[in-house]
Each structure stands twice: as structure tokens, then as C-alpha cells.
Amino acid sequence: MTDRKRVLRGRTAVVTGAARGVGEAVADAEAMARVADEVRDRQGPASVVVANAGVAEGGPFLDSDPASWRRVIEVNVVGSANTARVFLPQLLDTRGYYLQIASLASIGAAPLMSAYCASKAGVESFGQSLRAELAPRGVGVGIAYLNWTDTAMIRDADRHPVLRELRAHMPPPARKIYPPDHVAGRLVDTVERRAASVYVPGWLRGLQAVRAGLPPLISRFARHELMRSEFSSTGLLGPGGRAAEGSGS
């Protein structure tokens, strides 16, 4: 065990997910506060918090269900804020580390995924604000930019023509789906290093340098390739999406 890994030994880490447990509470501030208290009482104060809860839907914005569209924002953005709000007192005590899960969608917004792209751009900015705010107080904040990962949500997405076509028309490196163990390993390494950012796959980092030029390229691609077909909305995707839909107001 390296010295870096030894620092984390015996410490409490909290990882949110949308489908169950802590993740079910992420868009409910009172429930999330109760979860934070239970974690402190049972496990001790959190040293690591990974804001991973997320849901997605695809399809034309004009035809999207307003409630589902709003739910993506609530879970992904408001849920991240609720997670940070209730666990930051513990992270301040432990001088811990908060990792915000973002996406390729934070860097380049895709057509037919307006809610998801808006939410991931939002959590990227949220993480950047927290980093600057908390650095003087000893809490590290990282942002993880992930591409397609082999989760139930992504497998569900491939059942829908709109997202299947979207992924099929992406450049070959951007179509690849990465196994969860590979992604998790990179995230653990990021936590150990208290890094400001991680890109999985690594080539995503290069998009940051050219992100200002991406919107016209994506618009041209959509006009010539993607918008030749009619697509319908997917609704919320995967077990996390179904759980979030069931718990929505």
C-alpha cells in the first residue's frame, strides 16, 4: 500500500447514486440531511464525498415532457448541491475531498440531450465554484469528466433510436463504452491524489483547449447527419431514472 493510499485507510467515503439508498434522497434536502447525520453517527465524519447521482433522457426538446426534463436538472444539479450542502460540514472537519461527477456533455453539448447537457454543464460550474471557495479552508474539490460507461443507464439508452443514432454518429473514439471497473479505478486514483480533475478517457482533456469551437461543429453535424430522422423522447433512463421518476413531485 502506497503512502497515498494509506492516508485514506479507515476513513469514511460517501458515493451517491440515483437508484437507491443515499441516491434516492439527493433531490430532497431534508432526507439528504438525515442521511448525512446517519453517516456521521454510524461511520464517522466523511473524508470523501463523490457526487455521482445522475439521470438522463433523450429526444427533441420541443417534444420532451416538462416534468421529466425538470427532473433531470433536479437530480443532477440540485441533487449535487444538496449533497455538498449537507456533507461539507463533515469535509471541513476532516479537511476532506469532494469529487463532482461531470461528463463529456459538460464540455460539448449534444443535440437531443438538452436536459442532460444543461445539467452536466451546471455541475461543472458548480464544482469550479466550490473549488475556489473551499481551497482556503482545506477541502479539495475535483471534477471527473466521463464518457460512456457500461452502466444500466447506458444500456437502457441504446434501446432507444435517438440515443443509439447519436452515439453511432460520434467519432469512433467517442463511441467507446468503458467498463465500470476501469472508470472506478481512475476515480479512486483521483481521490487519492486529491486531483482537481480527471478525464476518462484521457483524450477528453484535449477538448478543453478547443471547446469554444465545438458548438458550430456539433450544429453542422446535427444538420447533416442526425436531423434527417424523426425521434421521440426516451423518458428517464435506467433504474436510476425510474427511481427518480417515481420519487418526483
Least confident range from 16-30, 158-172, 182-196, 205-219: namely 16-30
Phi, psi of 136 (to 5 degrees): -65, -15
**What per-residue confidence (pLDDT) applies to 1?**
42
d(CA 147, CA 102): 9
d(CA 14, CA 48): 6
- Grade residue 19 by pLDDT with cuts at 50, 70 and 90: low
pLDDT in tens, 40-68: 999 999 999 999 988 999 999 999 999 99
Q: What is the CA radius of gyration of the chain?
A: 18
Q: What percent of the chain lies above the pLDDT cut of 90?
A: 66
Round the average pLDDT of the chain to a whole number and report it: 89
**What per-residue confidence (pLDDT) applies to 145?**
98
**What per-residue confidence (pLDDT) applies to 4?**
56
**What per-residue confidence (pLDDT) applies to 3?**
54
First to last CA, the chain: 47
**What per-residue confidence (pLDDT) applies to 47?**
97
d(CA 42, CA 22): 14
Q: What percent of the chain lies above the pLDDT cut of 70?
A: 90
**CB–CB of 98/143 below 8 Å?**
no
Least confident range from 21-30, 98-107, 185-194: namely 21-30
d(CA 97, CA 221): 39
**What per-residue confidence (pLDDT) applies to 220?**
86
Torsion angle of C-alpha atoms 18, 95, 194, 6, degrees rounded to 10 = -100
Q: What is the pTM of this model?
A: 0.91
Phi, psi of 143 (to 5 degrees): -125, 130
**What per-residue confidence (pLDDT) applies to 6?**
62
- Flag whether pLDDT at 5 surpasses 80: no
Q: Residue 241 class from Cβ within 10 Å (0-12 exposed, 13-18 middle, 19+ buried)?
A: buried
What is the separation of C-alpha 42 from the centre of its chain, rounded to a whole number of angstroms?
A: 27
Least confident range from 16-20, 93-97, 109-113, 124-128: namely 16-20
Query: Which residue shows C-alpha cell 444538496?
Result: 82
pLDDT in tens, 121-173: 999 999 999 999 999 999 999 999 999 998 888 888 888 988 888 888 888 88
- Grade residue 84 by pLDDT with cuts at 50, 70 and 90: very high
d(CA 85, CA 225): 42
Name the superfamily (CATH) of residues 3-247: NAD(P)-binding Rossmann-like Domain (3.40.50.720)
Average pLDDT of the residues in 206-234: 85
Kindly state the cell numbers that stand for 33: 440531511
Helix axes 114-134, 66-73, angle to 10 degrees: 20
Cis bond upstream, residue 201 (ω within 30): yes
Reduce the DSSP state of residue 205 to 3 states and report it.
Answer: helix
Average pLDDT of the residues in 80-87: 97
Cα-based angle 67, 68, 71 (whole degrees, multiple of 5) = 85
d(CA 84, CA 130): 9
Reduce the DSSP state of residue 15 to 3 states and report it.
Answer: strand
Average pLDDT of the residues in 198-216: 95
